[in-house]
């Protein structure tokens, strides 16, 4: 079968007319969004705009009531569970940093590595040079080489955020969903994170949800503003931040 023929779209991620409601509350309302391969997109919007719910839908945690969610032009994500979607190549960083606190930094990365995740594979696993090299490389990138044998639970908040980004790198997905990566970070850390994400974007498609407008500006990418579960505005940061409706509901006058 020729894959090209079956592709409905060239987009890495394609959402069309997605609806989700929880007990009558419309969390996502006719949401349509397209991410091209290699693109980095920043998502902004007030609390309750549906940013995290959108990520839940893409990663299989929440099933939409209706609408199309296509990954890589061919795969219907609404039919798959979290594990299968992760295997396809969608990685996610959570709003609240979620690392495995009782395990060491390098074990966290080892668990994230994109290798055999079956019961048998992990039971008889014996490590390889390639694996430890990729862990070393990620540790270098996220500046945690010194802390590799520390328990992840003992890291500072900023370091945990970085470790979680590092886990995404180790996972090496096609699409990275990054939820509030700079929450609770200092200005310097925020700047470094922006640099890191730009670096990652050279080889990956990235979607970043963030409230920090300085950070979003620094990323310098296309911005989508969500409001009440639908797209309010889309464009460059200057276009979006000068939009009357965006100022009204989100940025404030």
Partner 1 sequence: MTPHMLTRSLDRGATIFLAIVAACGILIPLSNLLLPAGSFLQVPTYLVALWGKYVCYAILALAIDLIWGYCGILSLGHGAFFALGGYAMGMYLMRQIGTRGVYGNPILPDFMVFLNYSKLPWYWYGFDMFWFAALMVLVVPGLLAFCFGWLAFRSRVTGVYLSIITQAMTYALLLAFFRNDFGFGGNNGLTDFKDILGFNVQAEGTRAALFALSCLALILAFLICRSVVSSKLGKVLIAIRDAESRSRFLGYRVESYKLFVFTLSACMAGVAGALYVPQVGIINPSEFAPGNSIEAVIWVAVGGRGTLIGAALGAVVVNYAKTFFTSGMLAPYWLFMLGALFILVTLLLPKGIVGTFNSWWDQSKENRAATAASAAAEDGVTEPDMAESAQ
Interaction between residue 66 and partner 1 (CB under 8 A): no
What is the C-alpha to C-alpha distance for residues 230 and 193, in angstroms, rounded to an integer?
28
Decide if 168 contacts 176 (C-beta within 8 A): yes
Give yes or no for residue 94 binding partner 1 (CB under 8 A).
Answer: yes
CA 4 to chain CA centroid, Å, is 26
35 within 8 A of 221, measured Cβ to Cβ: no
Tokens found for residue 189? 């850390």
Cα gap 197→234, rounded to integer Å: 20
102 near partner 1, rule: CB under 8 A: yes
- The SS3 assignment for 228 reads coil
103 binds partner 1 (CB under 8 A): yes
3 near partner 1, judged by CB under 8 A: no
3-class DSSP assignment, residue 120: helix
Of residues 2, 47, 124, 149, which one binds partner 1 by CB under 8 A?
124
57 binds partner 1 (CB under 8 A): no
H or E segment to which residue 40 belongs:
strand 40-44
Residue 145 phi/psi, 5° resolution?
A: -55, -40
CB nearer to partner 1: give 65 or 82: 82
- Separation CA 206–CA 38 (nearest Å): 8
Q: Which is nearer to partner 1, 81 or 140 (CB)?
A: 81
Least distance CB 180 / partner 1 (angstroms): 16
User: Is residue 172 close enough to count as binding partner 1 by CB under 8 A?
Assistant: no
Asked if 43 interacts with partner 1 (CB under 8 A), we say no
Using the rule CB under 8 A, which residue among 11, 20, 33, 86 binds partner 1? 86
The least CB distance from residue 165 to partner 1, in Å, is 14
**Smallest distance, partner 1 to C-beta of residue 86, A:** 4
| Nearest CB to partner 1, comparing residues 44 and 144 | 144
Beta-bridge mates of residue 40: 206
Residue number with CB closer to partner 1 (42 or 110) = 110
Q: 67: phi > 0 → left, psi -120 to 50 → alpha, else beta; which? A: left
- Our CB check for partner 1 shows the closer of 160 and 227 to be 160
Residues that bind partner 1 (CB under 8 A): 59, 61, 81-83, 86-87, 91-92, 94, 98-103, 107, 110-112, 114, 117-119, 122-126, 167, 171
């Amino acid at each position: 079968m020729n894959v090209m023929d079956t592709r409905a779209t060239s987009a890495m991620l394609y959402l069309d007319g997605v609806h989700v409601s929880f007990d009558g509350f419309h969390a996502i309302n006719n949401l349509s969004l397209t991410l091209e391969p290699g693109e980095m997109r920043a998502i902004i919007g007030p609390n309750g705009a549906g940013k995290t719910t959108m990520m839940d839908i893409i990663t299989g945690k929440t099933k939409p009531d209706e609408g199309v969610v296509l990954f890589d032009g061919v795969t219907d994500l609404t039919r798959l569970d979290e594990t299968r979607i992760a295997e396809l190549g969608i990685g996610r960083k959570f709003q609240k940093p979620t690392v495995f606190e009782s395990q060491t930094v390098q074990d966290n990365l080892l668990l994230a590595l994109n290798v055999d995740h079956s019961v048998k594979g992990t039971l008889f696993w014996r490590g390889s040079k390639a694996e430890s090299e990729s862990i070393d490389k990620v540790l270098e990138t996220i500046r945690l080489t010194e802390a590799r044998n520390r328990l992840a639970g003992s890291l500072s908040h900023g370091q945990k955020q970085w470790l979680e980004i590092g886990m995404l790198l180790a996972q090496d997905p096609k699409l990275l969903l990054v939820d509030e990566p700079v929450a609770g970070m200092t200005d310097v850390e925020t700047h470094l994170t922006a640099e890191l994400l730009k670096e990652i974007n050279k080889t990956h498609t990235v979607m970043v949800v963030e409230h920090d407008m300085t950070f979003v500006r620094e990323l310098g990418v296309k911005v989508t503003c969500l409001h009440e579960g639908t797209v309010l505005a889309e464009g460059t940061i200057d276009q979006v931040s000068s939009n009357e409706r965006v100022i009204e509901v989100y940025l404030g006058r």
